[in-house]
Amino acid sequence: MNDIMIEANGVTKTFGTVTALDGVSIQVPRGSVLGLLGHNGAGKTTLVNILTTMLPPSGGTASVAGFDVVTAGNEVRGRIGLTGQFASVDEQLSGTDNLVLIARLLGASRREARARTDELLNLFDLADAAKRPAKTYSGGMRRRLDLAASLVGRPDVIFLDEPTTGLDPASRIGMWEIVEELVGGGTTVLLTTQYLEEADRLADAITVLSAGKVVAAGTASELKAQVGKRAVHVTLAAPQDAHTAVSALTRHGLAPVLDEAHAELRTPVETSSDLAVVVRALDEVHVEVAELALTEPSLDDVYLTLAKNNAA
């Protein structure tokens, strides 16, 4: 059963004159994790909101678990869990009451609701705080309760919108372990994040969004390969030399990426002998270099390269 659990075809969304999504297509097979990577405003949350039926798309089609998000919203909502950027829990109610409420609304009997609630509270290490109102919970506990709330109905598909934003490092790792367990249990996950480390660790496939468009898609290693095996990082002594340096490197057949704010150049290279090419090229045009380094690629490079190329 390796069918597609989340599918978007040319989804667009406009808010007045602002285009938040511009023809986004994704496919997520059952039991896999798609990492949706992008900076603030890239359109990640808008896409999640459309896939979870919270917002209607302006164009294109999308389906979750085989149900169209526009025409079969209730079917979709019955099969998904959603954990947004802000914990959606009732602060007045205890952890137990929050989860029981959801289970009952989903159609569980009192006894079933109670059993599922206890199971989740134990799983998420909230059993000790079960009776306390959620407003007394720490940020990490609230996030865990929120995630537990989205799992009450044993959803086939889970949407996690920046699940670790604002969490301390220990809570973040705890959240990662929970996601890994879920995936081990066969759940399909769509995860948005600004953290490359998070996507690298959790996602089977990564889609990079920038300004409402998919600018890259593939596995973490495919994306890394796309950028080059290694890169030469150059920090210029004088920022005004930046464009001279870029054209010099381009003349030598390289593809430098300029980070103007920091007067830095990142040039993907095939072999370490290309380091000499970079030095020679910059020397020819008398550009002074403050710092020079050969670095191994990381997802950061992928992200920066793609985001920059797209902005240029």
Partner 1 sequence: MSTIALPRWRGTGTTAQIGILTGRSLRALVGDPKLMIFSLLQPLIMLLLFSQVFGSMAGTENFPAGVSYINYLMPAILVTTGVGAALQSGIGLVSDMKNGVLARLRSLPINHSSVLVARSLSDLIRTALQLLILLAAAVVLFDFSPQGGLLGVVPAFLLALAVSWALSWIFLAVGAWVRNAESMQTVGFLAMFPLMFASSAFVPIDGLPTWLRVVATINPLTYAVDASRNLALGLPVGSGVWSALAASVGLLVVGAVLAVRGFRRPLPV
Contact positions toward partner 1, by CB under 8 A? 45-46, 49, 52, 54-56, 74-75, 77-82, 84, 86-93, 97, 101-108, 112, 123, 133, 146, 149-150, 153-154, 181-182, 184-186
Nearer to partner 1, 160 or 269 (CB): 160
How far is Cα 89 from Cα 296, in angstroms, rounded to an integer? 43
Task: Please measure the distance between the N-terminal and C-terminal CA atoms of the chain and give it in whole angstroms.
Answer: 42
Distance of closest approach, residue 206 Cβ to partner 1, in angstroms:
23
How far is Cα 135 from Cα 139, in angstroms, rounded to an integer? 10
Distance of closest approach, residue 196 Cβ to partner 1, in angstroms:
24
Contact criterion met (CB below 8 Å) for 193 and 207: no
Residues 6 or more apart whose Cβ sits within 8 Å of residue 285: 244, 245, 248
Kindly give the pairing relationship between strand 33-37 and strand 205-210. parallel
Distance of closest approach, residue 73 Cβ to partner 1, in angstroms:
8
How far is Cα 232 from Cα 272, in angstroms, rounded to an integer? 9
Nearer to partner 1, 10 or 133 (CB): 133
Distance of closest approach, residue 186 Cβ to partner 1, in angstroms:
8
Nearer to partner 1, 30 or 252 (CB): 30
Nearer to partner 1, 79 or 213 (CB): 79
For 253-268, the DSSP string reads: T---EEEGGGTEEEEE
Distance of closest approach, residue 92 Cβ to partner 1, in angstroms:
4
Nearer to partner 1, 84 or 297 (CB): 84
